[in-house]
Amino acid sequence: MTMTQRRLLFVGHPDEAEISQWTYVRDLASQQGWETTRRFSPDLITCAIVTGDVLGGVCTPTEASTLHDVTASSIPCMSAGDALVRLFARGDVADATT
């Protein structure tokens, strides 16, 4: 049985208020066998974690382009805080992204 590697994409640079949530999301994803990345690849990304600044449009052209590509690919995109509730609240990441 072949299992597809699931990847969690991180976009932006978290501020002081976001860094602990980003770290926690990254650690939980790793514990559940997910790969984390900062490189967008539409066929391999399951969900994107994005800073509040990037979500608000306060970002570099590269971050804006990545966010556009993520949303155009219909990949779920959320803040780290939302990910903790939507993806990890039950400890079952797979159900939250379907």
* CA distances to 32, 42, 46, 81 from 76, in Å: 18, 12, 7, 14
Q: Are 84 and 20 in contact (CB under 8 A)?
A: no
Percent of the chain with pLDDT over 90: 72
Residue 65 makes CB contacts below 8 A (sequence gap 6+) with none
Q: What is the number of other CB atoms lying within 10 angstroms of the CB of residue 4?
A: 8
The per-residue pLDDT for range 46-85, each reduced to its tens digit, is 999 999 999 999 999 999 999 999 999 999 999 999 998 8
* Domain edges within the chain: 48-98
